[in-house]
Structure 1
Amino acid sequence: MTAEYRPGLRGVERLNAKSVADAEATHLRRHGLSEWPETMAPQRETESVAARKRIADLLWYSVPSSDDTEAKSITADLLDNLIAATRDESAAELAAVRAERDEARKLNAALDRSLDDVIKDRDEYHEVADKLAYAVAPEEVIGEHSSMNCPWDNALDLITPMAEVDRLRDDLAKYAGQEPTVAEEMAELARRLDDVHHVCDEAEHNSLRWEHPLPVPEWVAVVREAADGMRPPGEDRRADAIQYGIRIPDGSVLNGTVTDLVEQQERLVRYRDCYPEAVLVQRTVRHGAWTEATS
């Protein structure tokens, strides 16, 4: 073999680290492994030596040398150097991959912890929001959480805006300290009762001022009793009937069971022939419940 023949050297130069790494990965997959265990190191070494020998047998004849022995020696040295460089590069790449894997594991662990914190915070905020919502209104008013209902929104709708609260406070401040005292309220009540009595007196006067007095309206006596607090509690205040009578000068009331006003007015005209000062009077009649008569 002459020194001028060099086409095979370019082929050796093209045998790069990736090709060796791919070949080693193929051997690992064949054994179902991700990396070589210690127990398989001898077998791996034997296979590597056999593979190097097969490659050397294919390449040595294209290596420039003085004889075949030298060509084979140079080829062996070239392959040994290539394998060593490839192993160094593979080890560095593997270390980098393992470092990235470890960093990814750390990142995943940190993300898991962060997710746990987010879930915990979410649950705490959910609980606080529920407390606030149900402090505004009970569950019967704002409901429960569902796909069709949000008690938080319902509670928010019920809350009076701060601007409205301020306006109401301003309105309240206008009347603060202006409430009447008990004495003032009693005086006002007495004034109103006096007005009620005055109305009753005026109605009675208007009925009796004529030469032939008219019956005093029924409501006068009822209102006076109510104004004076004389009506018993729980009393049936509805009148069953009004009876009309004729009062003569000695105070007696004649025909006091008549309920027909016109009839009694006509009778009053006749009575005044004997009792010129006779007047027409009336009374409210309230009947009790019917009970069985005793023999």
Structure 2
Amino acid sequence: MTAAADVISAAMKTGKTLPLSWADALESARLLQSPETAAELEELRESLAEAKRANSELKSQLTGASAAVEYGIRMPDGDVIDASLDRADTVSRLRRYRDSWPGACLMSRPVAHGPWTEVAS
């Protein structure tokens, strides 16, 4: 109860005199939540912070990564086959495929390569 009284007192000192303002202050202080909900919220915040750290670490590992373009051939059924970094070779194969599948077409996608990292074997 003392915590709730302190929150309401602090709200009143900032000019918040309406009960709705007090309820908002109590909610902000997480005093209107059950202990289970408060614990779950804290766990979610910790998980989010951990995910942000991992994301930041991955981004820093990819800094300076070189970008390449990979080429492939999309067949009439939508599958992309024969992925290669060599455009001329892929175009050559595409011409042969078009003899049997006129709807085949050249596709490309960016590929990012980060630095190599040694791992335990």
TM-score, normalised by the number of residues in structure 1: 0.19
User: Which structure dedicates a bigger proportion of its chain to strand?
Assistant: 2
User: Which structure dedicates a bigger proportion of its chain to helix?
Assistant: 1
For the pair shown, the structure with the greater C-alpha radius of gyration is 1
TM-score, normalised by the number of residues in structure 2: 0.43
Task: Return the structure number with greater relative CO, CA threshold 8 A, min gap 6.
Answer: 2
